[in-house]
Chains A and B, each alone.
Chain A
Amino acid sequence: MRYESEPLQDRLAAEYVLGNLRGAARSRLVTLMRSDPGLRAKVAQWEERLFPLVMRAPTVKAPPRVWRAIHARISPASSLGFGTRAWWRHLATGGFAAVALAALVYLAVAPPREPAFTMVAVLNDARAQPGILVSWTPRQATSRQIAVRILAHPSMPPGTSWQAWLVSGPDAAPIPLGFVTTDETQVLEVSPAAANALQEAVSIGISIEAKGGSITGRPGGPYVFQGPVLRVDS
């Protein structure tokens, strides 16, 4: 690839800063930057453009153990080094077998933490525009309810119903979840069978059916909206 042309340099600098260059391509650009002040300047310009965005996202409190680990590694006084790396090295050599044993015992007896997560699917249309958001918490799943939010208003031809389907794998038959209306927020009451399948949900799709829904028990046409189900830890 030729790196000399300016528009190409600019594009590579942008993709590098965005984080899209990986592996060998990333290393190659880093090497080029060392000998090319023009490329370095372009990278710096893109960093100025994009990096302040970081400040618009929420901060997360760093746990105190991170500072302790850093301090142990930078401070000459603490040659023992309780930084995680050094700790694991000791563990590997057996020196800290007692610590490992204690950790295992703790893991075995500690009560499992209350699951705090939400399953979320952002359903995109055929042009990959996000249109519908589907989500549920474990508690909602138990009470057989899932939340639907319409992001971009779909136009529903009269005489049609929009049916939501749960897909649990490439070979599994889609399970009907219910009907989606044009209301901005809605709650679908799902069948016990669908509620049981929520745990295995891989993706959610929406098909257009004749009024009243599919009579075959399967989607009558392609999904007009679909998206993968993702676990969001809270």
Chain B
Amino acid sequence: MGEPGRGSDSLADLIAASARGDERAFRRLYRATADALFGLALRMLKRRDWAEEVLQESFVSVWRHAARYDETKGAAMTWLIRIVRNQALDWIHPSRPDGFERVHARAADLLGDELLDGTGNAADGAELIEYSRLAERIAACLAALDARQRQSLVLVFFHGLSHGDLARHLQQPLGTVKAWVRRGLARLASCLAAYD
């Protein structure tokens, strides 16, 4: 074992070791990230059994494709989140029953409040804490958005709603909610650019 947060303890190193078939490293990678990723899958799918299946498929995929991760191209957590989100979005493919049913979220969550007040999860491990710091700017920029735009972005990103689900949920025409999403993203991008 290396020093905490460095050397062999970084998520990137654990992924690299997994690529070489090191099951213990893979287990540590799972322990460090599974709860955050399960929370994500559960939010998007709203059903524990589906979220468990998605988490399982995701980590099997991580194990099989660990060699594809390239540390120079982005944070390890970004790579893991991408895999889980892709699995979850496949799960809620249009062929699945209506997404409206899935909006069993907490009220604060539906409004995106929880993301803004900074009470998020207690990430343990220096690397994950560092990663969650990156979210501070994004949260500040989200807070600056019009409430409708923010709500639309949060519902799509965290709750896996499609444009159609969003229109039904907010009881607005499809074109209107599409415009909120588009403008929300554009304003988010320019707000974040101002930080750079």
Tell me the A residues contacting B by CB distance below 8 Å.
Answer: 10-11, 14-15, 18-20, 22-23, 26, 44, 47-63, 65-67, 69-71, 73-75, 83-84, 120, 122, 124, 127-130, 133, 135, 151, 226-228, 230-233
For chains A and B in complex, what number of residue pairs have CB atoms within 8 angstroms? 193
B82 near A14 with CB under 8 A, answer: no
Give bound CA distance, A13 to B160, whole Å: 16
| B148 interface hit (Cβ, 8 Å) | yes
Closest residue of chain B to A63, judged by CB? B52
Task: Assess the A56–B118 pair: CB atoms within 8 A.
Answer: yes
Give the number of chain B interface residues (Cβ < 8 Å).
Answer: 81
CA distance A55 to B127 in the complex (A): 12
The answer to whether A60 and B52 have CB atoms under 8 Å apart is: no
13 A-B pairs besides A55-B132, A58-B39 with CB distance below 8 A are: A14-B189, A18-B157, A18-B181, A44-B74, A50-B138, A51-B81, A52-B77, A54-B39, A55-B121, A56-B135, A63-B52, A83-B60, A120-B110
Subset of 5 A-B contacts with CB under 8 Å:
A11-B182, A49-B189, A56-B135, A124-B171, A133-B107
Q: How far is A53 from B100 in the complex, measured between Cα atoms in Å?
A: 23
- Give A51 to B86 CA distance when docked, in angstroms: 12
Instruction: Tell whether B175 is near chain A: CB-to-CB under 8 Å.
Output: no
Interface residues of B (CB under 8 A from A): 23, 26-27, 30, 34-40, 42-44, 46, 52-53, 55-56, 59-60, 63-64, 73-75, 77-78, 81-82, 85, 89, 93-94, 100, 103-107, 109-111, 114-115, 118, 120-123, 128, 131-135, 138-139, 142, 147-148, 151, 153, 156-158, 160, 162-163, 169-172, 176, 181-182, 185-186, 188-189, 192
